[in-house]
Structure 1
Amino acid sequence: MNNNHFDKMKNGKGFIAALDQSGGSTPKALAAYGVPEDSYAGKDEMFDLVHEMRTRIITSPAFRSDSILGAILFEQTMDRDIEGQYTADYLADKGIVPFLKVDKGLAEQKNGVQLMKPINDLDETLRRANERNIFGTKMRSVIHELNQEGIKAVVDQQFDFGKRIIAADLIPIIEPEVNIHSESKEQSEEMLKEEILKHLDDLSEEENVMLKLTIPTKANLYKELIEHPRVIRVVALSGGYAREKANEKLKKNDGLIASFSRALTADLNVNQSDEEFNETLQQAVDTIYDASVNKE
């Protein structure tokens, strides 16, 4: 494990950029960037275009380590290069810690939640992640309703995979998202916190995780998680909130930093000049950084 990356993630000021849209969400990400589906033929062209988009973001002068602590990559992005270097190495040279999305998407909803689909090639993916100098991983589940059996299953699955990731000398980002539109969001978050704490208390002193959670309805609900000795950092997903709303909610939570995707890139467009693109990205980075480090 890279000790400098560990220290940066634990103690650095800034946020994590989520650039990990996969096969299912890539068309939406490209469409938001101004690239409609009828402008490319097949998955190969689609992934070429999304890598061009991510390359433009990562190489932008606005994408700097004094604001951005880490970046979460899609597997294809990990295997591609930026300016002659594998993406993770390019990021590391900029002082930004590379993470990899390892889940295969969501299963059908059951007991009010969506577990992750099986990750049958996890061990091989983790081996390759180490070869590519990845620091940690991310995997997402979703909680839609207050259901104890479902929420327990989500957290159990996340930590089961998380322990395998730790054993491979990588840091897992545990991401049990609570749907922001859930009628029982606040109660689900309370139950989720208690289930997470049970697993954290069972970890050994050599086992550490990160958590990626929906910004809670009750401000500072996750303070106990943020301060837990087995937690390196707790980061927040935007969850569908517009950037201004996400930033406003984030500021109310001490110690919680952003790991935004759409809220980071929403105003970027393929037709912008480099100057317009970099200025737009800089504005987004500045506001998200501010919400991550300057609390109310």
Structure 2
Amino acid sequence: MRLTEFFDRGEFVVTAEVGPPKGFHIEHLVEEANEFLKGRVHAVNVTDNQSSVMRLGSLATCKVLKDNGLNTIFQVTCRDRNRIALQSDILSAALLGIDNLLLLTGDHTTLGDHPQAKPVFDLDSVSLTHAVKRMEEGFDIAGNAIDGEFPKFSKGAVVSPCSDSVDAQLAKMEQKVKAGVEYFQTQGVYEPEKFIKFMDKAKQFGVPVQLGIIIPKNVGMVRYMNANVAGVHVPDDMIEELKADKEKTKAGITGVEISARIIKECKDYCQGVHIMALGWESKIPAILDQAGL
């Protein structure tokens, strides 16, 4: 089911992200999705070679999860495929009945486990969104007709509300909306006051926004994000909170409490939440419970 249908009903839309393994045995991923996500989230995002690390494909994983009764979001990055392959994969998603997309430019290959790989970037997230919109109208990006009726997708993109350059983020957001983006998922938010100020400006676009939550696992993780992840800043008081009780933090209790608190502070200013658990999918039900969702 398309995510936009849930937004149109006025539902607070909850999604979660899973990463395919570096291999093709996904029984554990499917078990965890069935146990911790089914019935609790509206859809499951499947990453596409996240952080430029070669893994099982997003499309194949989406199909397996869909066959197990989960609504899925096919993440598509422009880094590894040219416009021919990207459009071909969108056609494949249509064939498989996967009707939610998250369209991304993608991390550079130098960040991943194949740093010598040649990046493609034939399109970016804006031009890829335009290509999908044209396909929905019955044409490929070169203007050639597509055989038969083409289905409608929910087309999503990302935005970084806590970036140092808010105006630049708003400008990118506007470009994406004009290209056809229908919902946004944000980069991880740890500063609710910045998110709320950003949303006050972003509401002009009239497009649903899901608050991004990255569960903070430990001090090392959040310090790494502060140093290396653009648009993410974990405040010092939150780092001290993770330091305060090491056993509580190790058990994930502190991360759950922080995540739930951020959701509660921000949920009146957005239309949903997207949780990036990074292997802690088992914590998602507790976060949602504590956040009152």
Coarse TM-score class (shorter-chain normalised): 0.5 to 0.7
- Give a deviation string over 1:157-202, Cα, whole Å, max 9, x none: 3222122223343222212458xxxxxx5423x1343213432563
Give the aligned partner of residue 111 of structure 1: none
Counterparts in 2 of 1:248 and 1:232: CA distance versus 1, 3 Å? same
Give the aligned partner of residue 287 of structure 1: 287
Give the aligned partner of residue 170 of structure 1: 153
Give the aligned partner of residue 68 of structure 1: 41
Task: Identify unmatched segments of 5+ residues in structure 1.
Answer: 27-42, 105-115, 144-153, 179-184, 269-280
Give the aligned partner of residue 59 of structure 1: 34
Give the aligned partner of residue 24 of structure 2: 47
User: Matches of 1:289 and 1:256 in 2, distance apart?
Assistant: 18
Paired amino acid for 1:70: A
Q: Give the counterpart of 1:209 among 182, 192, 195.
A: 182
Give the aligned partner of residue 227 of structure 2: none
User: Matches of 2:154 and 2:177 in 1, distance apart?
Assistant: 17
Counterparts in 2 of 1:134 and 1:221: CA distance versus 1, 3 Å? farther
User: Matches of 1:77 and 1:197 in 2, distance apart?
Assistant: 24
Structure 1 residue runs of 4 or more that deviate by more than 6 Å after TM superposition: none
Give the C-alpha shift of residue 78 in structure 1.
Answer: 4.0
Counterparts in 2 of 1:236 and 1:243: CA distance versus 1, 3 Å? same
Contact kept, 8 Å, 1:17 with 1:71, in 2: the verdict is yes
Give the C-alpha shift of residue 208 in structure 1.
Answer: 4.3
User: Matches of 1:201 and 1:63 in 2, distance apart?
Assistant: 29
User: Matches of 1:101 and 1:167 in 2, distance apart?
Assistant: 19
The alignment status of 1:7 with 2:5, answered yes or no, reads: yes
Paired amino acid for 2:12: K
Q: How many residues align?
A: 211
The alignment status of 1:158 with 2:125, answered yes or no, reads: yes
Contact kept, 8 Å, 1:89 with 1:133, in 2: the verdict is no
Contact kept, 8 Å, 1:236 with 1:260, in 2: the verdict is yes
SS for the counterpart of 2:68 is helix
- Give a deviation string over 1:230-278, Cα, whole Å, max 9, x none: 5244341428664433333333222253322326x42x6xxxxxxxxxx
Give the aligned partner of residue 164 of structure 2: 187
Contact kept, 8 Å, 1:213 with 1:236, in 2: the verdict is yes
Return the TM-score normalized by structure 2: 0.58
Counterparts in 2 of 1:197 and 1:134: CA distance versus 1, 3 Å? same
User: Matches of 2:185 and 2:214 in 1, distance apart?
Assistant: 10
Give the C-alpha shift of residue 47 in structure 1.
Answer: 2.5
User: Matches of 2:133 and 2:206 in 1, distance apart?
Assistant: 12
Paired amino acid for 1:90: N
User: Matches of 1:118 and 1:176 in 2, distance apart?
Assistant: 22
Paired amino acid for 2:100: G
User: Matches of 1:248 and 1:157 in 2, distance apart?
Assistant: 34
Counterparts in 2 of 1:72 and 1:197: CA distance versus 1, 3 Å? closer
Contact kept, 8 Å, 2:46 with 2:61, in 1: the verdict is no
Contact kept, 8 Å, 1:141 with 1:176, in 2: the verdict is no
Alpha-carbon RMSD across the aligned residues, in angstroms, is 3.6
User: Matches of 2:127 and 2:289 in 1, distance apart?
Assistant: 32
The alignment status of 1:16 with 2:49, answered yes or no, reads: no
SS for the counterpart of 2:197 is coil
After TM superposition, the structure 1 = structure 2 runs for residues 1-296 of structure 1, keeping only pairs within 5 Å, are 5-10=3-8, 11-19=10-18, 21-22=19-20, 26=21, 46-48=23-25, 51-60=26-35, 62-65=36-39, 67-74=40-47, 76=57, 78-79=59-60, 86-91=64-69, 96-103=70-77, 116=79, 118-120=81-83, 121-140=85-104, 157-168=124-135, 169-177=152-160, 186-188=163-165, 190-199=166-175, 202=178, 207-214=180-187, 215=189, 217=191, 218-224=194-200, 227-228=203-204, 230-238=206-214, 242-253=255-266, 254-255=269-270, 257-262=272-277, 265-266=279-280, 281=282, 284-288=284-288, 290-291=290-291, 293=293
Return the TM-score normalized by structure 1: 0.57
Give the C-alpha shift of residue 16 in structure 1.
Answer: 0.3
Identity of aligned residues (%): 7
